[in-house]
Amino acid sequence: MEYKVEAHRIMSISLGKIYNSRVQRGGIKLHKNLLVSLVLRSARQVYLSDYYSGACLNAAQSEREANEWDITDSEREKFPSSTTECDRVESPEEPQQTERPEKEHEHRENDDDLKSDQVDCTSTLQQEQNQNSLDSVANVSSETPPETIKEPKESPSESAVAERDSTPEANGESHQPPKTHVCSNRKRSAEETESGDSPQKRIKVASSDAEGDEEAEEMDTSNVSNLITIFGSSFSGLLSKDGAKPESETEDSGQICCDQMLKNLNPWSTAIVAF
Amino acid sequence: CNRPNALLCSVAADIISTVEFNSTGELLATGDKGGRVVVFQREQESKNQPHRRGEYNVYSTFQSHEPEFDYLKSLEIEEKINKIRWLPQQNAAYFLLSTNDKTVKLWKISERDKRPEGYNLKDEDGRIRDPATITTLRVPVVRPMDLMVEATPRRVFSNAHTYHINSISVNSDYETFMSTDDLRINLWNLEITNRSFNIVDIKPANMEELTEVITAAEFHPHQCNTFVYSSSKGSIRLCDMRASALCDNHSKFFEEPEDPSNRSFFSEIISSISDVKFSHSGRYLMTRDYLTVKVWDLNMESQPLETYQVHDYLRSKLCSLYENDCIFDKFECVWNGSDSVIMTGSYNNFFRMFDRNTKRDVTLEASRENSKPRAILKPRKVCVGGKRRKDEISVDSLDFSKKILHTAWHPYENIIAVAATNNLYIFQDKVN
């Protein structure tokens, strides 16, 4: 767990550096920001993989997600499709919200994929750890179905949902797809399982906010994760394709992301508010 | 083992950002963060004052670059001098190239110790004389004057770099030079400022795919068609300009596989090469990354010939060094004249020398307290754990704000110049 804390801290520091680099004299230093983005990506991978191997959510969370998903459905269009790296990684907080927009689109009938992944939790983790972002980013961004994300692909079939009992690991995947009906099934099975993992508690806390806040937070953390995705997977967040004018584009997206970061009240904010 | 002693210590107005001896060692140039260049000249030997032999005194000071504002991008362009490189001397004047992030300038430094006097049409102050008062004709005479050293910009090579220039290197043909930024290397003719040729371009078509940048580049000391450039991924590419106009395909690729046991969040940062230097012989390459200096044989691409640990005790402190930005410090490295000793800087105003033949190394400190003129430098030692001996300094007591990034070694003699923030130290072997 301390790895998770450390990774989280490094991510916050890295984001702060990227944010500060925009106001530094002499313009953005490409080399330094590239290195920072690499650190950010490494930290993020550790952060997420560590969680994943630890414990997954129980379905009680997915129940809350179900509620949120209805709200966020409309939000989906607001997010750029470039938030791709998150999609392939299963994790509790921010990715769940980032992935929701994409996943909704892709996985509407695919809840069974998640179930199938219960078994494949560990192997998927390894796969993720082995892959590095760029290729998978490219794959996912092309909106191909889950094949690119998870290993064995089974065609979605809702019938299987009720059959497969949720193991603790399964829950890590289970919250992903925004299916109300699926969730109700899981909720039933999840309620039967007990899990005292702190990640779950964390999600519960985050989800227990008022309805109105959920929407705002959701958007905030999505932008945070967008920012992280952008920086983590590549360098696109800092530079436009026309290298001649990197700063103007950066500032727009960076400004929005950072502003919303600062408004955020979830665990991310403690480190970032200082900036 | 020689113990350098301090000869001279001078204070610059601003943080020194580059130090370079000229090809004879007679001149030493420093550039600073304020865009100024200060050139020191070595005193000639004099029978009257033999003990003053070899001291460097200020020869010329000039403002090379000014801060600029790029209105198109709303960006300020720093005036900090990133690199100075001397041209070989061809006449009485001295020439050097100095560069900031965007513009390279060729400066001519020349002496004037005579001036013509007795003009017909103007008086001694330069005022035009009333022609009606001129009744005689005379020939102006050249008379001695107090020595004046002038620096004049002779060429300005600008508008060729989108990204920040990190290196310049003069070719052994003495006609061309190259300037290097994060993604591109441009070749210039010293005489032509309105045209440069792009010889390396690693900018990806899609900037989202950017994974590495160029960190330094240098021409081979003898082969005018050969140059190397280092990357942020820890690799070095050797290119031959005869192969094609655009040298995107390297002739040789030097990289050492990463040690998986040392993997951390910061592995990529510490493997980024901050400096690359050919040996004087042209047979070897030296690279500096955050924790080590490596010597490569040009004929062996798979791994370095020698690896020297500069300050391996920092390996466990990488996270703190990341937080305070020290991990991004770009240390340079230099060869001595005979390529037998290499030198590089560290923190706490320490600098390290490694003897390649005896495999011995020494840590020295550049500080006012420890280096009164003609005092002999005492070797320092960092205590890495356990009981600290009396003269040792513990890792936690190191001052990370005192870093030695820039050093230079005289081309023939054992004279070194060490820049410690805004102090310049010159050390010389003790003369018995």
**Which among A246, A200, A232 is positioned nearest to A91, based on CA atoms?**
A200
The span from the CA of B103 to the CA of B253, in Å, is: 29
Q: DSSP secondary structure string, B76-122?
A: EEP----EEEEPPP-SSSEEEEEE-SS-EEEEEEEEEEEEEE--SSB
| A211-217: long-range pairs with CB below 8 Å, 24+ | A211/A67, A211/A71, A214/A67, A214/A68, A214/A71, A215/A68, A215/A71, A215/A72, A215/A75, A216/A263, A217/A264, A217/A265, A217/A266
Q: B232 and A247: CB-CB below 8 Å?
A: no
**Would you call A163 exposed, middle or buried from its count of C-beta atoms within 10 A (0-12, 13-18, 19+)?**
exposed
Q: B268 and A234: CB-CB below 8 Å?
A: no
- Nearest beta carbon to residue B210 from set A6, A43, A235: A235
**Residue A77: C-alpha distances to residues A104, A236, B230, B380, B409 (Å):** 11, 20, 43, 62, 61
Looking at B233-274, which runs of residues are DSSP E strands? 236-240, 252-254
Average pLDDT estimate for B337-360: 97
| Residue ranges of chain A with per-residue pLDDT less than 50 | 55-63, 65-228, 230-275
The span from the CA of B344 to the CA of B308, in Å, is: 10
What tokens does A246 get?
């990197």
For residue B326, which residues of chain A lie inside 8 Å, CB to CB? none
Q: Is B11 helix (H, G, I), strand (E, B) or coil?
A: strand
Q: What predicted TM-score, i.e. pTM, was given to this entire model? A: 0.69
The DSSP output letter for B347 is: B
Q: Tell me, what's the pLDDT at B428? A: 87
Under 8 Å between Cβ of B117 and B141: yes
Chains A & B: contacts with CB separation below 8 Å: 92
Give the residue, A62 or B311, on which the prediction is more confident.
B311
Q: B322 and A13: CB-CB below 8 Å?
A: yes
**Which among A58, A42, A39 is positioned nearest to A50, based on CA atoms?**
A42
Q: B76 and A245: CB-CB below 8 Å?
A: no
Q: DSSP secondary structure string, A134-154?
A: HHHHHHHHTT--GGGTSSS--
For residue A233, which residues of chain B lie inside 8 Å, CB to CB? 208
pLDDT tier for residue B371 given thresholds of 50, 70 and 90: low
Tell whether A275 is within 8 A of chain B (Cβ): no
Q: Is the ipTM of this complex over 0.85?
A: yes
Q: DSSP secondary structure string, B306-320?
A: EEEES-GGGGGGHHH
For residue A229, which residues of chain B lie inside 8 Å, CB to CB? none
- Nearest beta carbon to residue B269 from set A35, A239, A245: A35
pLDDT tier for residue B266 given thresholds of 50, 70 and 90: very high
Q: Is A226 helix (H, G, I), strand (E, B) or coil?
A: helix
**Which among A257, A264, A195 is positioned nearest to A225, based on CA atoms?**
A257
Q: Is B377 helix (H, G, I), strand (E, B) or coil?
A: coil
pLDDT tier for residue B377 given thresholds of 50, 70 and 90: confident
Say if residue B51's pLDDT is above 80: no
Quote the percentage of chain B above a pLDDT of 70.
Answer: 93
Q: B328 and A25: CB-CB below 8 Å?
A: no
Closest-CA distance of chain B to residue A6, Å:
9
Q: Tell me, what's the pLDDT at B70? A: 87
| Residues B286-309: tens digit of each pLDDT | 999 999 999 999 999 999 999 999
For chain A, the C-alpha Rg in angstroms (whole number) is: 18
Tell whether A249 is within 8 A of chain B (Cβ): no
Alpha helices (H) along B272-326:
318-323
Give the residue, B422 or B345, on which the prediction is more confident.
B345
Tell whether A194 is within 8 A of chain B (Cβ): no
| Residues B141-191: tens digit of each pLDDT | 999 999 899 999 999 999 999 999 999 999 999 999 999 999 999 999 999
Q: A235 and B207: CB-CB below 8 Å?
A: yes
For residue B74, which residues of chain A lie inside 8 Å, CB to CB? 247-248
Q: Tell me, what's the pLDDT at B126? A: 81
Q: Is B128 helix (H, G, I), strand (E, B) or coil?
A: strand
What tokens does B277 get?
């230097």
The span from the CA of A244 to the CA of B72, in Å, is: 10
**Which among B91, B283, B105 is positioned nearest to B177, based on CA atoms?**
B105
Under 8 Å between Cβ of B286 and B294: yes
Residue reference for tokens 């414990």: A55
Q: Find residues 304-343 of chain B whose CB sits inside 8 Å of chain A.
A: 319, 322-323, 325, 328
Report chain B's mean pLDDT, rounded to a whole number.
Answer: 92
**Residue A251: C-alpha distances to residues B136, B344, B366, B373 (Å):** 72, 38, 42, 52
Residue A43's region, left for phi above 0, alpha for psi from -120 to 50, else beta, is: alpha
Q: A26 and B269: CB-CB below 8 Å?
A: no
- Nearest beta carbon to residue B76 from set A10, A25, A42: A25
Q: Tell me, what's the pLDDT at B5? A: 63
Q: Tell me, what's the pLDDT at B387? A: 73
| Residues B95-142: tens digit of each pLDDT | 999 999 999 999 999 999 999 898 898 888 888 888 888 888 999 999
Give the residue, B390 or B147, on which the prediction is more confident.
B147
Q: B265 and A46: CB-CB below 8 Å?
A: yes
- Residue of chain A minimizing CA distance to B233: A35
Q: Tell me, what's the pLDDT at B205? A: 94
Angle at B236 between CA B337 and CA B289, to 5 degrees: 70
